[in-house]
A and B are shown apart, each in its own frame.
Chain A
């Protein structure tokens, strides 16, 4: 069978997976961590510790401050030295809990062994509670609280859980590495999510450029199926074509199920729930090992970096510590990106700290990342062809320039997923998304204000 992919738009940038063969290394503990209270989509968490408190690894240090919010745990053991607003990766001032690291003392009850626990608990509510208490959020980019996503609103039924192993952004390899190295744990995590969703079928979707991950995943799945059957028999691995933005939720659902989430709708409307492979691993650890989400894997990469790394890091570790450990910032680096080159954020300094959803530290040289001077649109239509949402970026750009909100809405600017395919493919270097992005925000605010 031909590999699956989404039908509309998409681009094929060089995937540059130069760090794909680098095994995950455990990053040493820094002297101090600074843990953000806004590591998830929704309301920032409320700190429940005070300056001077002694905390252990895995201890709750903040509670959710709303329905869409998440617990935050201490990633280290030590003393709380400050609770203060600091700039996060995006430059927003957010409350951080600073902890001076002393030793590495874990909370009791956390299973730090590598023994696989493949038996899936029966009690769904208990599972959801553990996921919630474990502070698990989506690690594919949006950091949406996982327990909320696993509890569809009444009347909606999950027909398929898609495990997102597309990792379609160039350079990023952290998902690939955990799929290779922690395969069985991910499969168990997927089975747990499926149990919560009423034992729905699971598709583990991986792009074709990750051969080793596909092989390992298939064999680990086969082993678990032979031993346990049950919910494991409902899991299958499907191979996707290499195309960006395959890992976009709507695109992935289209690729795997052939269904299009309607504009303004949710995946569950078409019976789909999407979770990232790293999230499945976090679910496994939270449910089977009582280990809250305090670590994640991040790629340190770039063509100008002599040695590539994939690190298992403690959340709250300063970026400067990671960069120093990876050999320092290369002289040729002109831009440092947290995330992938298509949707990641360019950061102005390394003072911020890692969060749950940190996936990479990417160095790009000036030649790789410089913007070409914008020249006249030649109406070649490449942006419209590349748009995975079927929009007309050239038109939206013109309308955004003119501030025509009515036409922007009529032309569905609010459907834009900000994947960057339009700018990427424009031969005239027109900064399409730069203007479409704020226009989208304006139109969404207008639509909301009507309600």
Chain B
């Protein structure tokens, strides 16, 4: 008889792994990545490659040379961070700014807190906010979408503001959906959301509560904001435009739902989502930045330990 294994129960285990979950997130991000590469061309391709490569390399180097521990890049979380970071940047961002973003995300926001599972703040968002504050010009220079020109090496990309940026500059106007690379297509993002739900990677509550809050709050602002006498249009954005523009879709589906930096319970998740929705609109409406989602998520990340304490799961047989 062979030597037998002896260990405490249970003796079987789910086939689900961290790596598989992260792979699912990457798969869910593929539609929007492909659309943005298609729209923004080779610059976007470079941006994604540089971001993912530098995040993964950095984590590998930190574990090997600084921590002297087995590498953790196999869990694919660094790749997810890299991909999310790329999708949070305008396609015209210079490569070295992307590398700085990767350093902030991986070295500062993730590894210095103890690596995966220990960080309080979503690494990709910390990096985006850091870059937004440090390099405001690069971070708010968005390329307009022109597929023909995007793939030509000769022509300079045309730049323009997003709807939100435009709003701030020119008042009400309608434009193409431009912005950070990952904000290019709500349909592609929703496809990813559907995939994550079907694969049971995430629960829908955080995302849905953000959307609901944004819609309610934006509707109130839309009707209370009144009409601009000069143009005859509403001063504030239509609620649907509010919801579908900027980073709300990307943020609510992929960033706010990050396991590590969101509450554990459904009840906590809803509080978290409502908080993000409210803060986003407040910052958009009255803040000095055109986009508020990143700040909103970051602020609510800080509340997660408190929310977890408040929203304990209901225990069996204890009223």
Q: Is there contact, CB below 8 Å, between A392 and B313?
A: yes
Contacting B at CB under 8 A, from A429-451, are 429, 433-434, 437
Q: Is there contact, CB below 8 Å, between A378 and B12?
A: no
By a CB distance below 8 angstroms, the chain B residues around A339 are 9
By a CB distance below 8 angstroms, the chain A residues around B317 are 250, 260-263, 265, 389, 415
Measured in the bound complex, the distance between the Cα atoms of B264 and A392 in whole Å is 9
Do A429 and B316 contact each other (CB < 8 Å), given the known contacts A375-B75, A379-B117?
Answer: no
Q: Is there contact, CB below 8 Å, between A342 and B11?
A: yes
- A149 adjacent to chain B (CB < 8 Å): no
Q: Is there contact, CB below 8 Å, between B259 and A378?
A: yes
Contact with A along B1-39 (1 / 0, CB 8 A): 110111111111110111011000000000000000000
B149: shortest Cβ distance to chain A, in Å?
A: 41
Q: Is there contact, CB below 8 Å, between A368 and B12?
A: yes
Do A341 and B318 contact each other (CB < 8 Å), given the known contacts A348-B4, A375-B75?
Answer: no
- A369 adjacent to chain B (CB < 8 Å): yes
Q: Is there contact, CB below 8 Å, between A379 and B259?
A: yes
A19: shortest Cβ distance to chain B, in Å?
A: 16
- A371 adjacent to chain B (CB < 8 Å): yes
By a CB distance below 8 angstroms, the chain B residues around A3 are none
Measured in the bound complex, the distance between the Cα atoms of B315 and A412 in whole Å is 8
- A222 adjacent to chain B (CB < 8 Å): no
Q: Is there contact, CB below 8 Å, between B12 and A170?
A: yes
Contact with B along A409-437 (1 / 0, CB 8 A): 00010010010100111111100011001
By a CB distance below 8 angstroms, the chain B residues around A27 are none
Q: Kindly identify which residue among A331, A366, A429, A433 contacts B8, using a CB–CB cutoff of 8 Å.
A: A433
Q: Kindly identify which residue among A335, A366, A426 contacts B6, using a CB–CB cutoff of 8 Å.
A: A335
- A322 adjacent to chain B (CB < 8 Å): no
Measured in the bound complex, the distance between the Cα atoms of B317 and A261 in whole Å is 5
Measured in the bound complex, the distance between the Cα atoms of B11 and A369 in whole Å is 5
Q: Is there contact, CB below 8 Å, between B14 and A378?
A: no
Contacting A at CB under 8 A, from B290-319, are 312-318
A206: shortest Cβ distance to chain B, in Å?
A: 23
By a CB distance below 8 angstroms, the chain A residues around B75 are 375
A441: shortest Cβ distance to chain B, in Å?
A: 12
- A215 adjacent to chain B (CB < 8 Å): no
Measured in the bound complex, the distance between the Cα atoms of B16 and A387 in whole Å is 17
A17: shortest Cβ distance to chain B, in Å?
A: 14
Measured in the bound complex, the distance between the Cα atoms of B11 and A339 in whole Å is 11
By a CB distance below 8 angstroms, the chain A residues around B219 are none
The 22 listed contacts between A and B (C-beta, < 8 Å) are A13-B14, A250-B316, A261-B317, A262-B317, A263-B315, A263-B316, A263-B317, A336-B4, A339-B9, A346-B11, A347-B4, A366-B5, A368-B12, A372-B13, A376-B18, A376-B115, A376-B116, A378-B260, A389-B315, A390-B313, A427-B14, A429-B13
Do A429 and B17 contact each other (CB < 8 Å), given the known contacts A384-B265, A390-B314?
Answer: yes
Q: Is there contact, CB below 8 Å, between A427 and B264?
A: no
Do A334 and B316 contact each other (CB < 8 Å), given the known contacts A371-B13, A425-B14?
Answer: no
Q: Kindly identify which residue among A261, A364, A437 contacts B11, using a CB–CB cutoff of 8 Å.
A: A364
By a CB distance below 8 angstroms, the chain A residues around B2 are 331, 333-334
Q: Is there contact, CB below 8 Å, between A434 and B8?
A: yes
Do A384 and B9 contact each other (CB < 8 Å), given the known contacts A265-B317, A347-B4, A392-B312?
Answer: no
Do A424 and B4 contact each other (CB < 8 Å), given the known contacts A381-B264, A388-B316, A392-B312?
Answer: no
By a CB distance below 8 angstroms, the chain B residues around A379 are 117, 259-260, 264
- A223 adjacent to chain B (CB < 8 Å): no
Closest 9 interchain pairs by CB?
A: A420-B10, A376-B117, A390-B315, A389-B316, A380-B259, A335-B5, A381-B264, A341-B12, A341-B11
By a CB distance below 8 angstroms, the chain A residues around B49 are none
Nearest chain-A residue to B22 (Cβ)? A378
Instruction: Tell me the interface secondary structure of chain A in the complex.
Output: loop
Do A263 and B17 contact each other (CB < 8 Å), given the known contacts A335-B5, A345-B9?
Answer: no
- B285 adjacent to chain A (CB < 8 Å): no
- B112 adjacent to chain A (CB < 8 Å): no
By a CB distance below 8 angstroms, the chain A residues around B10 are 341-343, 420, 423-424, 433
- B118 adjacent to chain A (CB < 8 Å): yes
By a CB distance below 8 angstroms, the chain A residues around B9 are 339, 341-346, 418, 420, 433
Q: Is there contact, CB below 8 Å, between B316 and A415?
A: yes
Q: Is there contact, CB below 8 Å, between A335 and B11?
A: yes
Nearest chain-A residue to B259 (Cβ)? A380
B22: shortest Cβ distance to chain A, in Å?
A: 9
Q: Is there contact, CB below 8 Å, between B316 and A424?
A: no
Contact with A along B221-264 (1 / 0, CB 8 A): 00000000000000000000000000000000000000110001
Q: Is there contact, CB below 8 Å, between B18 and A329?
A: no
Contact with A along B258-283 (1 / 0, CB 8 A): 01100011000000000000000000
Q: Kindly identify which residue among B14, B72, B260, B318 contacts A262, using a CB–CB cutoff of 8 Å.
A: B318
Nearest chain-B residue to A363 (Cβ)? B4
Nearest chain-A residue to B75 (Cβ)? A375
Q: Is there contact, CB below 8 Å, between A375 and B260?
A: no
By a CB distance below 8 angstroms, the chain A residues around B265 are 381, 384
Measured in the bound complex, the distance between the Cα atoms of B265 and A392 in whole Å is 10
Measured in the bound complex, the distance between the Cα atoms of B117 and A429 in whole Å is 14
By a CB distance below 8 angstroms, the chain A residues around B316 are 8, 250, 254, 260, 263, 388-390, 415
Measured in the bound complex, the distance between the Cα atoms of B264 and A339 in whole Å is 33
By a CB distance below 8 angstroms, the chain A residues around B115 are 376
Contact with B along A214-256 (1 / 0, CB 8 A): 0000000000000000000000000000000000001000100
A16: shortest Cβ distance to chain B, in Å?
A: 9
A350: shortest Cβ distance to chain B, in Å?
A: 8
B186: shortest Cβ distance to chain A, in Å?
A: 26
Contact with B along A378-417 (1 / 0, CB 8 A): 1111101001111110100000000000000000100100
